[in-house]
Amino acid sequence: MTSPSLETRDLTIRFGGHVAVNAVSCAYQAGTLTAIVGPNGAGKTTYFNLISGQLKPSAGSVLLDGRDISALPASARCHAGLGRAFQLTSLFPGLTVMENVRLALQSRKRLGLDLWHVWSDHKDLVARADAVLESVALAGRRDTVAALLPHGDQRKLEVGLLMALDPVVYMFDEPTAGMSVDEVPVILDLIRMLKKDRSKTILLVEHKMDVVRELADRIIVLHNGTLMADGEPEAVIASPVVQQAYLGMAAVEEAA
């Protein structure tokens, strides 16, 4: 087996006396989508926050391509290749769709204040930004101000910004939450498209078991901050302990 692109080792965080994530060790391979499931309060978002650097662990480490990134702040982890979708908070609402993507491409190349490079690379950036907009089906909206986009298109733009950063690892925390019935398939199509790139590792926190079942190559289950199941979707979903105690019969019936 090839070395994992992302790994957590004994990752732990305590809030006062409460252990929200408890010694979670897990390795994630390129070319796989892992769904992280578990009941409310299981520690899924906290685990994500520890990986992306929004929270500092009480113990344990995070490795990206074998490098220990535990001491890096969130912004440096992003530059190192961890791409996390934050629902709409990463958009510049007053800029156009094209300008948003162009800025994301520039930030990846760390061109921010180097005016000569900004100028000489401008045409290349615009061409690449157009390619990103094409892949997220927003080419027709390139000159629209982001704030004026319908909600579903804003979410597509957010995925486009993430793609512009070309991360090694994509992290989605309930990407379809709050979306209308029409918008959900659009985001799921984008995740399916990202999955085709076998060099990428995708982590997905998702409550909807039908979505998990369709997209996941592997499911891990967190409960009370502890990793309590890990394996292929069918086996994890079918395991009695997960069905009865942790997913709830409603979720299991929905997935059937």
Ligand X SMILES: Nc1ncnc2c1ncn2[C@@H]1O[C@H](COP(=O)(O)OP(=O)(O)OP(=O)(O)O)[C@@H](O)[C@H]1O
Please state, as a whole number, how many other Cβ atoms lie within 10 Å of the Cβ of residue 70. 19
State in angstroms the smallest separation of the CB of 220 from ligand X.
12
Per CB under 6 A, does 20 bind ligand X? yes
State in angstroms the smallest separation of the CB of 155 from ligand X.
18
- For every residue of 80-122, DSSP letters joined together read HTEEEE-TTTTS-TTSBHHHHHHHHHHHHHT-TT-HHHHHHTH
Per CB under 6 A, does 40 bind ligand X? yes
Per CB under 6 A, does 15 bind ligand X? yes
Per CB under 6 A, does 17 bind ligand X? no
- Select 79 or 207, whichever has its Cβ closest to ligand X: 207
Residue 45-84 contact track with ligand X, rule CB under 6 A, x = bound: xx--------------------------------------
> Amino acid identity, residue 100?
N
Per CB under 6 A, does 42 bind ligand X? yes
Q: Which residues, listed in sequence order, are joined to residue 8 by a DSSP beta bridge?
A: 26, 62
Tokens 């979708």 correspond to what residue? 85
Residue 140, both tokens: 């027709």
Candidates 40-48, 68-76, 211-219, 245-253; binding stretch for ligand X (CB under 6 A): 40-48
Count residues contacting ligand X (CB under 6 A)?
Answer: 10
Per CB under 6 A, does 38 bind ligand X? yes
d(CA 158, CA 88): 6
Closest by Cα among 190, 105, 117 to 154: 190
- Select 41 or 112, whichever has its Cβ closest to ligand X: 41
- Interacting residues with ligand X between 131 and 170 (CB under 6 A): none
Per CB under 6 A, does 44 bind ligand X? yes
Phi, psi of 120 (to 5 degrees): -70, -30
Per CB under 6 A, does 43 bind ligand X? yes
The alpha carbon of 213 is separated from its chain's Cα centroid by a whole number of angstroms, namely: 17
Per CB under 6 A, does 177 bind ligand X? no
Per CB under 6 A, does 171 bind ligand X? no
Candidates 37-45, 128-136, 153-161, 245-253; binding stretch for ligand X (CB under 6 A): 37-45
Candidates 43-51, 158-166, 178-186, 245-253; binding stretch for ligand X (CB under 6 A): 43-51
d(CA 136, CA 130): 10
Closest by Cα among 29, 3, 52, 34 to 200: 29
Q: How many helices (H) and strands (E) does the chain have?
A: 11, 10
Phi, psi of 211 (to 5 degrees): -65, -45
Binding site for ligand X (CB under 6 A): 15, 20, 38, 40-46
